[in-house]
Amino acid sequence: MTHTNDQHPRSASGAVVPVLAFAGIVVAVMQTLLVPVIKDLPQLLSTSPSNATWVLTSTLLSGAIATPIMGRLGDLYGKRRMLIASLAVMVVGALISAVTSQLLTVIVGRTLQGFAMGAIPLGIGLMRDMLPRERLGSAMALMSSSIGVGGGLALPAAALVAQHADWHALFYGAAGLGVIAILLTLLVVPESPVRAPGSFDLLGALGLSAGMVLLLLPVSKGSDWGWTSGRTLGLFGAGLLVLVLWGLMELRVKAPLVDLRTTARREVLLTNLASVMVGVSFFVVSLVLPQLLQLPKSTGYGLGQSMVVAGLLVAPLGLTMMLTAPVYARLSAKYGPKVTLILGMLIIAIGYSAGLGLMNAPWQSAVIAVVLGAGIGLAYSSLPALIVGAVPAAETGAATGLNTLMRSVGTSVSSAVIGTVLANTAHTVGGVSLPTLHGFRLSFVIATAAVVVGFVLAVFLPKPHRTSQLRASSQEEANLERAEQVLRGFRGRVVGADGTPVPRARVTLIDRRGRQAGATVSAADGSYALAVPAEGPYVLAARAAGHGPHASSATHPGADRPVDLDLALPGETVHA
């Protein structure tokens, strides 16, 4: 049975949002920590360029796997608890990488650091559980864009450390930030009372992990093995087979790691596919610009900047993303998150297209970073609002975890593909392999193509219905909007024993498996409206201060029309 607490900590401290956003920034710092030294990794680790890319790809891959896992565990056992666990695993991984220069050990440490990616969906879930609707949209935008903010701020800071100290100091710094984030979370963030029913799907987690590794390994090593070799094609086939079998299993499991039926809803599916493209577009610029800026001018196309200056020129990417969070909140309140996603995709496409001709001077890199930061910031901020508006409250952690997974899939594929492109188009000078201008431009073309696909997906998103809840200025306004918009669901009035309306009664929708499928608060006239995810039997439970609880069973036929159902609460309870 779903365990929920009607008294959500809506009066949570004002420091909760900044602390959760800081946790997101720490995750981003970890993710982009080694970008300033990426061109030096083969020498630092005594390995080939294609093997060195796994120091980045392993983190992104484990993050992609960890996000739905930590999201589901958060729904089951507490989001704050799992947020602390994610950050703790990251700290351990950073300390492992800090004490070695062996490729395999560094990859193990970086893989553990990827588990911190679970902090993003967990933070968004905590915000939904604790914040009033009028603050939720802008708070989620800040949390979602914290990945870019942290990445942009980390580049110059990491470059400064790497240029003036041993590169292992980067990992000690990341571990310190992780410890600070854990302490702040313990001090400021309360635990959410919302719980989902069921148990953890261990087979689902193993299946997803195996499928992702089998797909990304040949992407990364295909150029070394040969794209048509039996090993490459065999791993691709095995990865697809594992993921298909995993999907079939998830459809049969009572409490799956990923609810694929929810995922199959048009608004959720298209948003997740668009998220993959946003992930690709974000990581391409993070990989290309620092290398282009640091290459010596003697190559004929390198811009000859120091590691620190290169980091400062790319930093506007993250700073612009941070500045777009309040802009997003205003645009989304007026036009909705679908429009802001489309606008963000359009700006990203313009940035990459212009970037193809702006590779001749350092200041041009800063211009590209600003334009792309604005677009990626708008797109990142829109994604969680679209997802949260399309799923029940008890599934927020898993759903936003899956959405972050899709972004992580995009960044993982981006890291592997762009790493392969740059390695394959590189030329050797004095025994050192250097990326070429052709490789940089080809990377920008790939990013542009991904964004065009994302733009088309965003255009075909259905007109949002429940996302309007995020823009309502009060509970009653949200109820009225839902009453006007809901097509398939239940509606009616909550009344007392004498037939008078009961305002601010909490109405909860419970599905056949005992899971919360929706919740609302009755308006001043007692009216309520709740959408249903599918046809079938439901229980509507209502409760209000001064009245006894009431539950009614009802079946929805699945047609696109509301079912009228009034809920009569028992007489006022007698207080001593």
**Domain spanning 16-201+253-469: CATH superfamily:** MFS general substrate transporter like domains (1.20.1250.20)
Rounded CA separation 277/380 (Å): 11
- Model pLDDT, residue 310: 78
- Model pLDDT, residue 179: 95
User: Looking at 181-190, 328-337, 427-436, which range is the least confident one?
Assistant: 427-436
pLDDT bucket at 576, cuts 50 / 70 / 90: very low
Polymer length in residues for the chain: 576
* pLDDT of 392 above 70: no
66-75 pLDDT tens trace: 877 887 888 7
Q: Hey, CA dihedral for 382, 387, 393, 398, is it positive or negative?
A: negative
DSSP 458: H
pTM exceeds 0.75 for this model: no
* More confident position, 561 or 350: 350
Given CATH 2.60.40.10, say whether it is the number of domain 475-568.
yes
Mean pLDDT of 461-474: 49
* More confident position, 175 or 208: 175
* More confident position, 369 or 433: 369
What residues have CB less than 8 Å from 575, skipping those under 6 apart? Answer: none
Q: Specify the DSSP element, H or E, that contains 129.
A: helix 119-130
pLDDT bucket at 274, cuts 50 / 70 / 90: confident
User: Looking at 41-45, 254-258, 503-507, which range is the least confident one?
Assistant: 254-258
Q: How many other C-beta atoms lie within 10 A of the C-beta of residue 213?
A: 16
Mean pLDDT of 420-441: 75
Rounded CA separation 527/565 (Å): 10
User: Looking at 35-39, 230-234, 375-379, which range is the least confident one?
Assistant: 35-39
- Model pLDDT, residue 572: 53
* pLDDT of 38 above 80: no
Which residues are 491's β-sheet partners?
A: 529, 564
**What backbone torsions phi and psi does residue 237 show, to the nearest 5 degrees?**
-65, -45
pLDDT bucket at 438, cuts 50 / 70 / 90: confident
Average pLDDT, the chain: 77
User: Looking at 15-29, 40-54, 465-479, which range is the least confident one?
Assistant: 465-479
Q: Which residue has the tokens 């990581």?
A: 283
Distances (CA, A) of 432 to 118, 307, 511: 37, 18, 61
**Integer-rounded Cα radius of gyration of the chain:** 25
- Model pLDDT, residue 367: 87
Q: Specify the DSSP element, H or E, that contains 226.
A: none
* pLDDT of 254 above 80: no
What residues have CB less than 8 Å from 475, skipping those under 6 apart? Answer: 133, 504, 521, 523
Query: Do 423 and 279 form a contact (C-beta atoms < 8 A)?
Result: no
- Model pLDDT, residue 25: 84
DSSP 299: G
* pLDDT of 427 above 70: yes
- Model pLDDT, residue 5: 39
* Token duo for residue 562: 């509301």
User: Looking at 248-252, 502-506, 512-516, which range is the least confident one?
Assistant: 512-516
**Residue 447 three-state SS:** helix
- Model pLDDT, residue 92: 94
> Exposure string (b/e) for 53-69, b if CB count within 10 Å is 16 or more?
bbbbbbbbbbbbbbbbb
Mean pLDDT of 511-521: 76
Mean pLDDT of 412-419: 74
pLDDT bucket at 485, cuts 50 / 70 / 90: very low
- Model pLDDT, residue 473: 37
* pLDDT of 290 above 90: no
Sorted by where each begins, the domain ranges of the chain are 16-201+253-469, 202-252, 475-568
* More confident position, 400 or 343: 343
- Three-state secondary structure string covering 10-46: CCCCCCHHHHHHHHHHHHHHHHHCCHHHHHHHHHHCC
* pLDDT of 95 above 90: yes
* pLDDT of 376 above 60: yes
